[in-house]
A and B are shown apart, each in its own frame.
Chain A
Amino acid sequence: MLDLIIEHAGLLITIALMVAVLIPIGAMLVWFERRMLGFWQQRYGPNRVGPFGILQSLADLIKILFKHDWIPPFADKPVFILAPMIGAVSVLMSFAVVPMTPNLVVSDSNIGLLFFLAMTSLAVYSVILAGWASNNKYAMLGGMRAAAQTISYEVFMGVSLLGVVILSGSFNLSEIVLAQSELWYVVPQFLGFVIFMIAGIAESHRLPFDLPEAETELCAGFHTEYSGIKFALFFLGEYLGMMLISMMITTLFLGGWMGPWLPPIVWFVIKTLLLICFFILLRAALPRPRFDQLLSFGWKWVLPLALLNLVVTAAVKLWGGF
């Protein structure tokens, strides 16, 4: 046992570091989003707790920890407790395959991309189980929506990535990054980039595609009955998800850690942060579509485009002579 630990000490430290850094960053993102939203709406956002309100998330965390950890008497108790854990854990697992620098990656797996897709698919269980276990009509509706939405968008999320895979010839994310040393895939795979971005938003239930928790219609959707630390897990999961999607886009389309002059991690962070900002801007600017609009947009527009992208990319690869 001990030898195992010593053998993989570097790995364990990396995992610990990742978790220790990612979760606080996820929490910080909440504050960051609220500030950014504030600026885009000509106000300040939270600016009271600590310098620039930076400790707001800490304050929120303390508050949420001290809240009554309540399980409704009508809920399915084990599932109710399990659901938020699945959400947070599945997202955290995905980070394992993201290469932040050439060296900073937990598992430089050669099926990294597939692992990422698998984990995001698992995340939907969290939502649908939460909706089911809450035994509440709003939660149930939210859960159903989440399931339908995730299943739909997962399809062309995968399809849109195949272009990248074709170009790089690998499922290993580090290799995909290295394959972009001459040209970021955002240029040849622009369509794939856009589709992946849309699908990513839908997968992480971010606005404007946050129909599972649309508060104007469904109170808070699948997490209506949640409070305290379980709610915090959902919340954290959502922000980690946003971060994950941003990282994946960076990795797959924007050349990952690569860039001149600055150290690789800085480039990675800058690219990710800009994408996060873009996600927040979407939230600030765009209204939420109707659910049927969301699905028909997915199946009628995005899927054909993704297939087209795949076919064209494959054709160019086969006969274009790159």
Chain B
Amino acid sequence: MWSQLVTLWRVFMHLFDRTDTVEYPEQKPYLAPRYRGRIVLTRDPDGDERCVACNLCAAACPVDCIALQKTEDEDGRWRPEFFRINFSRCILCGLCEEACPTYAIQLTPDVEMAEFQRTNMVYEKEHLLIDGPGKYHDYSFYRKAGISIKGKGKGEADNESPPVDIRSLMP
């Protein structure tokens, strides 16, 4: 009984404490650059789409809200023909960013994305794609990967020797 009364007293005394509430729309809290908000697709340092449509983000997504289709362009790069995120399902968990092998998909500290229509929460590639490299400035997947694309032949990626001449008998 005594403890109940003490509780009552303690709770009552909170009346004279300062409130902890952050008055959100007027008072913006600081969100770190690595905060998990709206998802974007970034470009590599040369300005090309980083996304290679490998589908790992879609596989990692626990709510299955990412759908995309791979296509291969004339220049030999893989790209998504469409890349759709249904943000009305997205839980902003960031697993897609973890899964992305090319740093293409990144989460941004923008969390204000409420809509009146659920259809407006469905973002296509043109809505997701930004102009810059996002958080990772220097990485370019095709410079590392051994696949040849237009402007980069076999043996021209980082840490590769030129293609071997298989007809040569020299050691």
Say if the two chains contact directly (CB < 8 Å): yes
Q: Which residues of A are in contact with B by a Cβ distance under 8 Å?
A: 38-44, 281-282, 284-286
Q: B8 contacts A41, CB within 8 Å?
A: no
B residues in contact with A40, CB < 8 Å = 11-12, 14-15
Q: B12 contacts A42, CB within 8 Å?
A: no
Residue of B nearest to A43 (CB): B21
Q: Chain B interface: which size bin?
A: 10 to 19
B residues in contact with A42, CB < 8 Å = 14, 17-20
A283 to chain B, nearest CB (A): 10
B residues in contact with A282, CB < 8 Å = 8
Q: Which residues of B are in contact with A by a Cβ distance under 8 Å?
A: 4, 7-8, 10-12, 14-15, 17-21, 23
Q: A43 contacts B20, CB within 8 Å?
A: yes
9 residue pairs, one from A and one from B, having the closest CB atoms: A285-B11, A43-B21, A285-B7, A40-B14, A285-B8, A44-B21, A40-B11, A284-B11, A39-B15
A278 to chain B, nearest CB (A): 9
B91 to chain A, nearest CB (A): 24
A residues in contact with B12, CB < 8 Å = 40, 281, 285
B100 to chain A, nearest CB (A): 38
A–B pairs, 29, beta carbons within 8 Å = A38-B19, A39-B15, A39-B19, A40-B11, A40-B12, A40-B14, A40-B15, A41-B14, A42-B14, A42-B18, A42-B19, A42-B20, A43-B19, A43-B20, A43-B21, A44-B19, A44-B21, A44-B23, A281-B11, A281-B12, A284-B11, A285-B7, A285-B8, A285-B10, A285-B11, A285-B12, A286-B4, A286-B7, A286-B8
B16 to chain A, nearest CB (A): 9
Considering the chains assembled together, what is the distance between the CA atoms of A284 and B7 in angstroms? 10
A residues in contact with B17, CB < 8 Å = 42
B89 to chain A, nearest CB (A): 25
A134 to chain B, nearest CB (A): 31
Interface centre among A39, A44, A282, A285 (most CB of B within 10 A): A285
A281-B19 contact, Cβ under 8 Å, with A39-B14, A42-B14: no
Considering the chains assembled together, what is the distance between the CA atoms of A284 and B8 in angstroms? 8
B8 to chain A, nearest CB (A): 5
B68 to chain A, nearest CB (A): 39
Residue of B nearest to A284 (CB): B11
Considering the chains assembled together, what is the distance between the CA atoms of A163 and B136 in angstroms? 79
A43 to chain B, nearest CB (A): 5
Considering the chains assembled together, what is the distance between the CA atoms of A302 and B26 in angstroms? 51
B18 to chain A, nearest CB (A): 7
Considering the chains assembled together, what is the distance between the CA atoms of A41 and B21 in angstroms? 10
Supply 9 further A-B pairs (C-beta < 8 A) apart from A39-B14, A43-B20, A44-B21: A38-B19, A40-B12, A42-B17, A42-B18, A43-B19, A281-B8, A281-B12, A285-B8, A286-B7
B residues in contact with A41, CB < 8 Å = 14
B residues in contact with A286, CB < 8 Å = 4, 7-8
B96 to chain A, nearest CB (A): 34
B14 to chain A, nearest CB (A): 5
B residues in contact with A39, CB < 8 Å = 14-15, 19
A residues in contact with B15, CB < 8 Å = 39-40
A residues in contact with B21, CB < 8 Å = 43-44
B94 to chain A, nearest CB (A): 28
Residue of A nearest to B12 (CB): A281
B residues in contact with A284, CB < 8 Å = 11
A residues in contact with B11, CB < 8 Å = 40, 281, 284-285
Considering the chains assembled together, what is the distance between the CA atoms of A40 and B8 in angstroms? 10
Considering the chains assembled together, what is the distance between the CA atoms of A282 and B19 in angstroms? 20
Considering the chains assembled together, what is the distance between the CA atoms of A41 and B18 in angstroms? 10
A207 to chain B, nearest CB (A): 12
B residues in contact with A43, CB < 8 Å = 19-21
A8 to chain B, nearest CB (A): 45
B15 to chain A, nearest CB (A): 5
Residue of A nearest to B9 (CB): A285
Considering the chains assembled together, what is the distance between the CA atoms of A89 and B164 in angstroms? 94
A276 to chain B, nearest CB (A): 14
Considering the chains assembled together, what is the distance between the CA atoms of A282 and B7 in angstroms? 9
Considering the chains assembled together, what is the distance between the CA atoms of A281 and B10 in angstroms? 10
Interface centre among A40, A44, A286 (most CB of B within 10 A): A40
Considering the chains assembled together, what is the distance between the CA atoms of A317 and B10 in angstroms? 39
Residue of A nearest to B20 (CB): A42
B residues in contact with A38, CB < 8 Å = 19
Considering the chains assembled together, what is the distance between the CA atoms of A43 and B20 in angstroms? 6
